[in-house]
Amino acid sequence: MTAIIIDGKAIAEGLRKQIAEEVSGLKNKPGLAVVLVGEDPASQVYVRNKAKMTAEVGMQSFEHILPVDTSERALIRLVEQLNNNPAVQGILVQLPLPKHISENAVIEAIAPEKDVDGFHVVNSGKLATGQEGLVPCTPLGCIILLKQTLGDLSGKHAVVIGRSNIVGKPMAALLLKENCTVTVVHSKTPNPEKISAQADIVVAAIGKPRFVKKEWVKPGACVIDVGINRDENNKLCGDVDFASVSEIAGAITPVPGGVGPMTIACLLKNTLTAYKQQMSK
């Protein structure tokens, strides 16, 4: 079997087009503030892309680039100003932050209704208890790709590889909400490949280049690769060994062009959701 390649780039473009159409009918432009502390090159690329895509869908982009030695207090003060700014409906603080700043303290300072990353405990608590809230962008993008590929996910066995707060944990919660049977495997799980090989859906989010091999995947399974890594030759690659896994999977996301473009599209979707919620109050 040769897997269907899930075209995240095209699906993300479609989603952004839909968002742009809805935004063009609004009286005021939704505003998204993105805060970057320091000069991490990967973060600089993400932030630049976010600003470009925000403008492309007709939203207003506010960029705050702060020096690496910015204090936690100063950063929290900026977040509080953005909380109180009526032109801003979405706030994103790019992670990772420099070591002297507590990420938790900064995330908890963001008003939950403007937390378009869905990282605030109010939003993660809502997700965990099945209430409506803002949902982390990458897992949300993965769910959209899965539903477009498989239709109803009800009753499917999903294995999530990795347990981070940004991807693994919210991914598991979203799959449960879709009525999947969910297993999370991680670095302390014995024989994770045996568990993964039973899954209808595999979501790989571990941050290790080409870690998931053919033996981890049941023939015909749908494989979602969240990883963005550089291999020993500095070539971009995912957490899944695409060459071997695509021989047996039913469907698979490529890297690049799979989950990545969906994350930014979902950030814009969350910003529009946050705007509509704030305008209806």
Residue 160 burial class via C-beta count within 10 angstroms: exposed 0-12, middle 13-18, buried 19 and up: buried
Point out which residues bind ligand GUN (CB under 6 A). Answer: 92-95, 117, 137-138, 166
The smaller minimum CB distance to ligand GUN, of residues 189 and 256, is found at 256
For residues 26 and 21, what is the distance between their CA atoms, to the nearest angstrom?
A: 9
94 is catalytic: yes
The smaller minimum CB distance to ligand GUN, of residues 3 and 76, is found at 76
The smaller minimum CB distance to ligand GUN, of residues 138 and 196, is found at 138
C-beta of 91: minimal distance to ligand GUN in Å?
A: 10
C-beta of 96: minimal distance to ligand GUN in Å?
A: 7
Nearest residue to 226 (alpha-carbon basis) of 194, 260, 252, 197: 260
Q: What six digits make up the tokens of 176?
A: 């449960």
C-beta of 107: minimal distance to ligand GUN in Å?
A: 9
Nearest residue to 136 (alpha-carbon basis) of 120, 148, 151, 152: 120
By residue count, the chain amounts to 281
Residues sharing a CB contact under 8 Å with residue 6, sequence separation 6 or more, in sequence order: 145, 148, 149, 224, 251, 252, 253, 254, 258
In DSSP terms, 34 is beta-bridged to 63, 92
115 is catalytic: no
In the three-class reduction of DSSP (H, G, I as helix; E, B as strand; rest coil), residue 20 is classed as helix
C-beta of 263: minimal distance to ligand GUN in Å?
A: 6
In DSSP terms, 31 is beta-bridged to 60
C-beta of 250: minimal distance to ligand GUN in Å?
A: 27
What is the DSSP pairing of strand 236-237 with strand 229-230?
Answer: antiparallel
117 is catalytic: yes
For residues 108 and 83, what is the distance between their CA atoms, to the nearest angstrom?
A: 12
The smaller minimum CB distance to ligand GUN, of residues 183 and 263, is found at 263
Q: Which of 89, 94, 169, 239 is catalytic?
A: 94
The smaller minimum CB distance to ligand GUN, of residues 145 and 248, is found at 145
Q: Which of 89, 114, 115, 117 is catalytic?
A: 117
* Strand-by-strand arrangement of the 90-93 sheet: 60-66, 31-37, 90-93
Residue nearest to ligand GUN (CB): 95
For the annotated catalytic residues, the residue numbers are 50, 94, 117
